[in-house]
């Protein structure tokens, strides 16, 4: 710095006809040696690391700011927009930055008409393969060129940078050498994108996953650099939950895989910290989706006994239905929630009987009786004894197929009850059967749903105790909320 100060002291005393050459040959190179290492350190750029892969720069009649910017950011590809008056300075820019002509795409533009400038930037963007992260330096050039480059950069999602200074020498009409700094202008798309990001969060928390994904995907398409990556990860997660909620399991699996892959690639970004902390949770959900997509039949069919007794598969199926019921309840859709609770209770009974050797779709009563140590006559008598408690019509033969209430009564008859208050179960099933989504015209009240859910939770606990299955795997299928993340 002492050498630079000595050169500056000499420079400011020279007559104008000598000062220009002395500045270009002595002062500016010395300033460059001071400024570039300092600014690269300030921006955390290590040796050999480019600040940007691509840059767009407008060249005016003073090339020094561009030389500083290029020397600090060290882009691999450059679009240099010059006027007829400034293009003669390009050789000096290349010489002092070390850029080769193979890295520089020089285009001449009109200093007063932004149209050709827009087209040159757009064409370069496509030639470069639509890079997600670049920058436009707007320090040099006319006001029209600067404004045009800034607007084009914002539209493409590029950062906008410029060179400023701490002190200005009015007599020399130059910055005080060595005080130059490079600055990055906040992209308005990032700031405005935060508002849309919050909207997407609110939509997801209202369980409108498709709407949230649409907002996030639009943001990812226009936001610059790192912000775009953040929106892509969250958007993929919302698409996962949208498809899972619709039971489009293959689409959900594909989106979950995409979300995990993007998170693995870009999880270092601060805005993805919440999701990175949930990586194990998300991996378990992806595994469950893969299992469901692979094992559930593509066409209508009953599951075989080996599937109905598989803890991993059945936990994925039952957990999916359970959490779907809770989401419907949370959205105020009580009739749909009751429908899902009914299906859940039916699957719990089917799975438990399958573990005892009975396929409720096509029951083999002889084999089942041998498994539980009862003859078919004893099974029928025990079932009718339980049915008689509720004044149900007595059966002349064992049922085929086995319906929901029959299944719970049968479990009670063989000493494996999942429901200890069968009267409550019968009442809730009757209430559900009268609902508009079942066989009647009534609507499920809030009290009806809460009663149904309370009974279902009690049966769930007995199911887990009877089977020894892991409740944690089931609970891990709840959709992640922004608040939890």
Instruction: Give the CATH number of the domain where residue 122 resides.
Output: 3.40.50.10770
The CA distance from 478 to 325, in Å, is: 11
* Mean predicted confidence (pLDDT) in 322-343: 93
Task: Domain of residue 202: give its range.
Answer: 191-295
Q: Both 197 and 176 in a single domain?
A: no
**Does residue 485 lie within any of the structural domains?**
no
Q: Both 131 and 79 in a single domain?
A: yes
Q: What angle (nearest 5°) sits at the alpha carbon of residue 31, between those of residues 29 and 33?
A: 70
- Domain tally for the chain? 3
The whole-number pLDDT of residue 324 equals 96
The whole-number pLDDT of residue 456 equals 93
**Does residue 97 lie within any of the structural domains?**
yes
**Does residue 470 lie within any of the structural domains?**
yes
* pLDDT over 80 at 223, yes or no: no
Q: Both 338 and 366 in a single domain?
A: yes
**Does residue 29 lie within any of the structural domains?**
yes
On average, the pLDDT of the chain sits at 87
The CA distance from 216 to 390, in Å, is: 55
**Residue 214 pLDDT level (bands cut at 50, 70, 90):** very high
**Residue 8 pLDDT level (bands cut at 50, 70, 90):** confident
Q: Both 158 and 88 in a single domain?
A: yes
Q: Both 38 and 78 in a single domain?
A: yes
Q: Both 251 and 372 in a single domain?
A: no
Q: Both 165 and 214 in a single domain?
A: no
**Of 251, 274, 295, which residue constitutes the final position of a domain?**
295
**Does residue 482 lie within any of the structural domains?**
no
* pLDDT over 70 at 211, yes or no: yes
Q: Both 347 and 373 in a single domain?
A: yes
Q: Both 211 and 250 in a single domain?
A: yes
* pLDDT over 70 at 313, yes or no: yes
The model carries a pTM of 0.63
* Mean predicted confidence (pLDDT) in 378-406: 91
Q: Both 287 and 319 in a single domain?
A: no
The helix/strand/coil state of 182 is strand
Q: Both 151 and 233 in a single domain?
A: no
**Residue 433 pLDDT level (bands cut at 50, 70, 90):** confident
Of residues 441 and 32, the one with the higher pLDDT is 32
**Does residue 377 lie within any of the structural domains?**
yes
* Mean predicted confidence (pLDDT) in 314-338: 93
b/e 296-321 (16+ beta carbons within 10 angstroms → b): eeeeeeebebebbbbeebbbbbbbbb
Residue count (the chain)? 485
**Of 261, 295, 329, which residue constitutes the final position of a domain?**
295
* Mean predicted confidence (pLDDT) in 351-377: 94
**Does residue 315 lie within any of the structural domains?**
yes
How distant, in Å, are the alpha carbons of 149, 325, 449, 480 from that of 328?
A: 50, 5, 11, 15
The whole-number pLDDT of residue 328 equals 94
The strand pairing partners of 59, in sequence order, are: 82
Q: Both 268 and 313 in a single domain?
A: no
**Of 295, 314, 337, which residue constitutes the final position of a domain?**
295
> Which tokens sit at 449?
């749903």
**Residue 484 pLDDT level (bands cut at 50, 70, 90):** low
**Does residue 205 lie within any of the structural domains?**
yes
The strand pairing partners of 219, in sequence order, are: none
């Amino acid at each position: 710095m002492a050498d630079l100060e000595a050169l500056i002291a000499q420079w400011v005393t020279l007559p104008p006809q000598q000062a220009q050459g002395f500045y270009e040959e002595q002062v500016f190179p010395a300033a460059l040696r001071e400024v570039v290492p300092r600014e690269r350190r300030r921006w955390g750029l290590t040796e050999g690391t480019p600040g940007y892969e691509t840059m767009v720069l407008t060249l005016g009649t003073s090339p020094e700011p561009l030389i500083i910017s290029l020397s600090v950011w060290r882009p691999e590809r450059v679009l240099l927009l010059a006027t007829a008056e400034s293009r003669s300075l390009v050789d000096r820019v290349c010489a002092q930055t070390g850029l080769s002509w193979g890295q520089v795409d020089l285009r001449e533009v009109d200093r007063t008409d932004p149209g050709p400038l827009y087209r040159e930037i757009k064409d370069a963007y496509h030639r470069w393969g639509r890079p997600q992260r670049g920058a436009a330096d707007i320090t040099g050039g006319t006001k029209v060129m600067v404004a045009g480059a800034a607007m084009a950069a914002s539209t493409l999602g590029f950062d906008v940078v410029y060179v400023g200074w701490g002190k200005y020498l009015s007599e020399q009409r130059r910055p005080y050498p060595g005080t130059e700094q490079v600055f990055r202008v906040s992209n308005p798309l990032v700031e405005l994108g935060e508002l849309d990001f919050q909207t997407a969060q609110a939509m997801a928390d209202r369980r409108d996953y498709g709407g949230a994904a649409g907002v996030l995907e639009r943001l990812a398409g226009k936001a610059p650099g790192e912000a775009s990556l953040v929106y892509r990860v969250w958007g993929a997660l919302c698409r996962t939950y949208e498809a899972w909620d619709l039971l489009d399991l293959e689409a959900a699996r594909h989106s979950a895989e995409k979300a995990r892959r993007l998170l693995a690639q870009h999880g270092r970004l601060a805005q993805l910290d919440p999701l990175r902390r949930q990586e194990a949770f998300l991996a378990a959900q992806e595994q469950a989706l893969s299992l469901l997509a692979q094992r559930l039949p593509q066409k209508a069919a009953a599951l075989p006994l080996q599937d109905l007794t598989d803890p991993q598969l059945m936990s994925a199926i039952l957990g999916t239905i359970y959490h779907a019921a809770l989401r419907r309840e949370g959205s105020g859709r009580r009739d749909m929630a009751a429908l899902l609770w009914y299906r859940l209770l039916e699957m719990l009974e089917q799975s438990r009987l399958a573990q005892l050797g009975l396929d409720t779709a096509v029951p083999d009563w002889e084999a089942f009786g041998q498994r539980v140590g009862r003859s078919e006559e004893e099974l029928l008598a025990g079932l009718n004894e339980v049915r008689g408690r509720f004044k149900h019509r007595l059966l002349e033969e064992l049922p085929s197929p086995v319906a929901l209430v029959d299944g719970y009564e049968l479990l009670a008859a063989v000493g494996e009850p999942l429901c200890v208050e069968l009267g409550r179960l019968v009442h809730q099933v009757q209430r559900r059967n009268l609902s508009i989504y079942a066989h009647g015209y009534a609507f499920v009240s809030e009290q009806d749903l809460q009663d149904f859910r309370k009974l279902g939770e009690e049966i769930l606990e007995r199911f887990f105790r009877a089977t020894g299955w892991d409740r944690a795997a089931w609970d891990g299928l709840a959709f992640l909320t922004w608040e939890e993340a």
